[in-house]
A and B are shown apart, each in its own frame.
Chain A
Amino acid sequence: MERSQPRRQVAAMKQSLFDQGLLDEQFIQLEELSDDANPNFVEEIVTLYYRDSSRLISSIEQALKERHTLDFNKLDTLMHQFKGSSSSIGAKKVKAECTLFREYCRTGNAEGCMKTFQQLKKEYASLRKKLEAYFQLARQAGPMETACRPK
């Protein structure tokens, strides 16, 4: 009975992440891949995502510094890669900002790119904090028998 309380908290926290539109179904797909060999598979993937994507974020930041001569093709290529990774972990809001950024690249809208990138970084950082808290709680609660789907 006592053990179910932390699990309810984990489920509630996950539900909240979905209700806020931060995560999508792909996150559940990753949770369902956890097994005895990789009980924390989704946490490993998310950690890898944040490590790998920080390099892309820096490259985009550097490219945006050339304010008057933005290379929109280069920016679009970098963002395509970043969007792909974000999509793979179910980072719904981050992915939406990536899509918007790419639209601005296509139309050559430098200001749009810069504003969207600032928003993207906020969403990216905010999701990281929330997922860290979620994984910490999930580890304390212990393994769940099946990944439960939010309502």
Chain B
Amino acid sequence: MTSRNLSTQLRALVVDDNMINRKIHQKMLNGLGVECMGVANGKEAVDVHCYGQSFDLILMDKDMPIMNGIEATKKLRSVGICSMIVGVSSRSMEVEIREFMEAGLNDYHEKPLTTAKLASIIHHIINTKVFYSYNDHFIFGKFLNDPFI
């Protein structure tokens, strides 16, 4: 048991009507250095974005009251939210997973999530950010050094 002083400077939104799952997933993400927020259904997930919040990762449960994960994912994508959205559910029928993926998910995992699974998701997000940051820097640097500009 150690103090965890990591900070990835990433922000995550955990969307799940089950309070226990929200607490566990938030704790796992905190342990990986990710700042977290939790909401209880898809409508609240959409609302926080309308209030101007943004996230690097959204963990989206499928079955929730008021607005489920499929509807919320579609809505977020339709308003231009490009964050990584990872669907989570305890249901594992192929047709249900496909429907969820087609709503606009980047990835899907069956519950319960583990720290290892979340770590690989975070790793992927960080690598993607580094890639784009590196490419922006490279292109900009080349522009500055180009004698014909």
Q: Report A's interface with B, CB cutoff 8 A.
A: 26, 29-30, 32-39, 41, 45, 48-49, 52, 80-81, 83-85, 87-89, 143-146
B44 within 8 A of partner (CB): no
Task: Quote the shortest CB–CB distance from A76 to chain B (angstroms).
Answer: 11
Contacts of B3 in A (CB 8 A): 35-37
A29 CA to B18 CA in the complex, in Å? 18
Q: Looking at the complex, which one of A30, A80, A81, A146 makes contact with B24 (CB distance below 8 Å)?
A: A30
16 residue pairs bridging A and B, Cβ less than 8 Å apart: A35-B1, A35-B4, A36-B3, A45-B20, A45-B23, A48-B19, A49-B20, A85-B21, A87-B90, A87-B112, A88-B20, A88-B21, A88-B24, A88-B112, A89-B20, A143-B1
Q: Which of A29, A39, A87 contacts B1 (CB 8 A)?
A: A39
Write out, one digit per residue, whether chain B residues 49-84 have a CB within 8 A of any chain A CB (1) or not (0). 000000000000001000000000000000000000
Name B1-41 residues within 8 Å CB distance of A: 1-4, 18-21, 23-24, 27-28, 31
Contact among B1, B4, B24, B90 for A45, CB-based, below 8 A: B24
Pairwise interchain contact B27-A41, C-beta atoms closer than 8 A: yes
What is the bound-complex CA distance between A84 and B20, given in angstroms?
Answer: 9
Which residues of A are found within 8 Å of B115, using beta-carbon distances?
Answer: 29, 32-33
Query: How many residues of chain B have a CB within 8 Å of chain A?
Result: 19
Which B residues are within 8 Å of any A CB, using their own CB?
A: 1-4, 18-21, 23-24, 27-28, 31, 63, 90, 111-112, 114-115
Residues from chain B with Cβ under 8 Å of A38 in the complex: 27
**Cα(A63)–Cα(B20), bound, Å:** 24
Q: Which residues does chain B contribute within 8 Å of A34, judged by CB atoms?
A: 1
How near does chain B come to A97, taking the closest CB pair, in angstroms?
A: 15
A27–chain B nearest beta-carbon distance, Å: 11
Chain B residue contacts of A30, Cβ below 8 A:
24
Q: Is A48 a contact of B23 with CB atoms below 8 Å?
A: yes
Q: B19, B20, B90 — which one has the most chain A CB atoms within 10 A of its CB?
A: B20
Q: Is the CB of B20 within 8 A of A52?
A: yes
Q: Are A35 and B18 in contact (CB under 8 A)?
A: no
Chain B residues, Cβ within 8 Å of A41:
27
CB <8 Å contact, B19 and A87: no
**Contact partners of B4 in chain A: CB under 8 A:** 35
What CA separation (Å) do A45 and B105 show in the bound complex? 29
Known contacts A29-B114, A33-B24, A35-B3; is-contact A84 B18 (Cβ 8 Å): yes
